[in-house]
Amino acid sequence: MIVVRWWMTTFQLTELFVSCLVHLTYGLYIFSTAVAGDVSQTLSDWLFKPNLETSLKTDDSKKTNTDLPPIVLVHGIFGFGKGRLGGLSYFAGAEKKDERVLVPDLGSLTSIYDRARELFYYLKGGQVDYGEEHSKACGHSQFGRIYEQGHYPEWDEDHPIHFVGHSAGAQVVRVLQQMLADKAFKGYDNTSENWVLSLTSLSGALNGTTRTYFDGMQPEDGKSLTPVCLLQLCRIGVIIYEWLDIPLLKDYYNFGFDHFSMSWRKSGIRGFVDCLLGNGGPFASGDWILPDLTIQGSMKLNSHLRTFPQTYYFSYATKRTTQVMGLTVPSGVLGIHPLLFIRVLQMSQWRHPQDVSPPYKGYRDEDWWDNDGALNTISMTHPRLPVEHPSHLVVKDSDCQPLQPGIWYYKIVEGDHILFVVNRERAGVQFDLIYDSIFERCRKHVLRKTPTLPNHS
C-alpha cells in the first residue's frame, strides 16, 4: 500500500513538473498563459474526475469502417498527439466526431522538415529516415523512431488521406505533400502528390508570423535569436529537459529532439555546455521550428511548395482584431485571456525596424496588423509569399459548392489562435460547428473517385 501511494505521488509530481514546463514554454511563445490555463483546467478534470475520461472513450465494440480514408489531425507548435499529457486531447476530443481519425504525435519543437518526415513513417511504418544530406547538415542522426506497424500502411494514390493541420501543422502537411511529389522517401518510388486528398488548415502558419520577432527572432535574418529574449529562456529550458532525459517525463511529453542525442548518456557534460553556449544541438543548426515560422523562413519553405491541381484545400483564418477610428485594436476584452489580449495588442501595433530591409518587396506593416494573438490573419488565408496561390474567399458554404481542387478556399473566423484546440468549452458552439463542417466536407464533398460502399460490389 505504501509503495502504491509512493508511486501515485511520484507520478502526480511528474505530471506537475512537465505541466509547469509546458505551460512555461507556452507562455513564452505562441499559446501564452491562456493555453496554460486551458491545459491546467483540462488536466485538473482528468486527474480529479476520472469518470469524465471514461465517458469520452470510443466504444471498442463499434467496428471502424476501414473503407473510409482516414482524417489525420496534425498538431501545431508545442502540441502533442494521442497518448501524451496523460491522455489529454490536443484537439479537445474532436477526433471522436468521426470513426476514422488519426492523431499522430510529432516533435513539438522540431523543424517543419523533420516533422514531415516523421508524419510519413507514422502512417506508412518503419524507421524514420530524416535523409542523409539533411542530417549531416543539421548535425543529428539520420534515423529516428521506429514504427513497427504503420497507422495506414496501405496509403497510396488509390488510398489517399484527408489532413487537418492546426497552426504549424498545416505547413507540415504541405511540406510532406511536396516530398511525396518529389519522391523524397528512399525505397518508395511510387509516391505522388495525389496521396493527399485534401488539406484543411486551422489557423495555419502558411506565411510566417510577426509574433516570432516579438519573442526574440532577429528580423534581420529570421534565423538567429537576440541575446536576451523569451525564446532564450525557452531554449535553455528545453536543453535542460532533453539532457536530463528522464524516461517517465519523456513518455509524458516529448519536444522531439531525440535524434539530436542531447541526453546526458550520449553527450555528457561537455555536450550539455556546448548546447547551452549555442555550439551544438538544434538551436545552433537552426533545425527547429521557430526559424520556419518567421516571414523569411516561411518564404524559403514556400518557394519550393506547390498547390496541386488534384488536391482540395480549405483554410480557416482566425482574427481577434477590429478597426476603431483607423486603428487596429483587439476586438473586445470578454472571452479572451488578459495575456493573450496583450499579445493581440502587440501584434496589432507591429512596426518592422526601419534600419532593416523589409522581408519582401511591397511589404507594408498594416497588412500584418490583423491577428489572433499568435499568427497574422494575412498569413493564414492561403500561401501568398513569395508567390500568391489560387484562392477564393468563402462567406457562406454555398459559395464554394461544388468544391474545385487546386484552389485555397478560406474563411475568416472571429477567434484567437487556440479557439479550436485544448479547451472545448471555451470555444463553445463554434467548436462543434467548425469540426462538423470539416468532417462533413471530407466525407461528402471531397471525393476523387466514386467510393465502393461496404458489402456492395
- Is residue 51 over pLDDT 50? no
Cell numbers describing residue 186: 528512399
Predicted pLDDT at 64 = 56
- The answer, yes or no, to whether the previous bond of 386 is cis (omega within 30 of 0) is yes
Q: What is the per-residue pLDDT across 400-416, written as a single tens digit (0 to 9) for each?
A: 778 899 999 999 999 99
CB 70 within 8 Å of CB 152: yes
Predicted pLDDT at 420 = 87
Is there a domain that residue 65 lies in? no
Is there a domain that residue 334 lies in? yes
Predicted pLDDT at 314 = 97
Is there a domain that residue 396 lies in? yes
Predicted pLDDT at 53 = 38
Tell me the CA distances in angstroms from 424 to 41, 50, 246, 314, one per residue in order: 11, 18, 31, 22
Structural domains in the chain (count): 1
Range of the domain at 393: 71-134+142-211+292-445
Helices (H) and strands (E) in the chain, counts: 17, 11
Instruction: Report the pLDDT averaged over residues 219-231.
Output: 96
Predicted pLDDT at 65 = 65
Predicted pLDDT at 446 = 78
Sign of CA dihedral 317, 321, 324, 329: negative
- Is residue 1 over pLDDT 90? no
Q: What is the DSSP string of 308-345?
A: -TTSEEEEEEEE-EEEETTEEEES-STTS-HHHHHHHH
- Mean pLDDT of the residues in the chain: 87
Is there a domain that residue 379 lies in? yes
Predicted pLDDT at 427 = 84
Residue 414 is classified by DSSP as E
- Is residue 36 over pLDDT 90? no
pTM of the model: 0.87
Q: What is the DSSP string of 295-314?
A: HHHHHHHHTT----TTSEEE
The answer to which of 64-68, 215-219, 450-454 has the lowest mean pLDDT is 450-454
Give the three-class secondary structure for 218: coil
Question: For the chain, how many residues are written?
Answer: 457
- Is residue 195 over pLDDT 80? yes
Cell numbers describing residue 185: 522517401
What CATH number is given to the structural domain containing 339?
3.40.50.1820
pLDDT above 70 as % of the chain: 83
Predicted pLDDT at 146 = 97
Predicted pLDDT at 402 = 84
Strand partners, 319: 414
The answer to which of 53-67, 166-180, 347-361 has the lowest mean pLDDT is 53-67
Is there a domain that residue 250 lies in? no
CB 201 within 8 Å of CB 411: no
- Is residue 419 over pLDDT 90? no
Report the alpha-carbon distance of residue 154 to residue 380 in Å, rounded.
32
- Is residue 417 over pLDDT 80? yes
| Residue burial 104-127, b: 16+ Cβ < 10 Å; e: rest | bbbbbbbbbbbbbbbbbbbbbbbe
The answer to which of 29-33, 138-142, 157-161, 229-233 has the lowest mean pLDDT is 29-33
